[in-house]
Amino acid sequence: MVNVIRKIIGCRRGSLTAELSVILPILIFITAGSMILILALWSKIVVVDAAREGARYEALNYGPAEEKVDEVLQDGKLNVDNKDSVTVVKDTNYVTVTVKYNQPAIFPLLPQLLGGARWNDSFIIESSQVFKIEKPD
């Protein structure tokens, strides 16, 4: 009887499969989560840059801010069609440009973690930048 118990306890057949079945979903979740987070951060960086460049473009009277925002979004490899709005507020000394961008989400609950609606397929990335008017009209 003791030999049978030792054989059962000492048998490691199939342990690699069992360990892999436990670890693999965790590794996939960590890898996919990292990729999604990196894409969201990339989008945030591009949207901040688009708002800054749009404010600068408008403040220096080179043209409308939305034109420059679209250009920066395209250069950053973001889809311009996902742009929600570009708001320009101009007073005597400063220009404020606010860009809202709908970042598509891969997983349904991801927008809720990043400030969006629970079952929405995207979440809003927003940036507002202020630039001093250098040239008078």
Does residue 4 form part of some domain? no
DSSP state of 135: S
Q: Rounded to an integer, what is the distance from CA 78 to the centroid of its chain?
A: 10
Residue 21's domain spans which residues?
17-132
For the sheet with 94-104, list strands across it.
83-90, 94-104, 122-132
Does residue 27 form part of some domain? yes
Does residue 5 form part of some domain? no
Does residue 115 form part of some domain? yes
User: What type of residue is 65?
Assistant: A
Total structural domains within the chain: 1
User: What type of residue is 38?
Assistant: I
Does residue 67 form part of some domain? yes
Instruction: Going residue by residue through the chain, which has 137 residues, state the pLDDT in tens, using 9 for 90 and above.
Output: 656 555 656 666 667 788 888 899 999 888 887 888 898 899 999 999 999 999 999 999 899 999 999 999 999 999 999 999 999 999 989 999 999 998 887 766 666 666 665 656 777 899 999 999 986 65
Does residue 12 form part of some domain? no
Q: Residue 48 has what pLDDT?
A: 97
**53-66 burial: b if 16+ Cβ within 10 Å, else e:** bbbbbbbeeeeebb
Does residue 137 form part of some domain? no
Helix (H) or strand (E) holding 102, with range, is strand 94-104
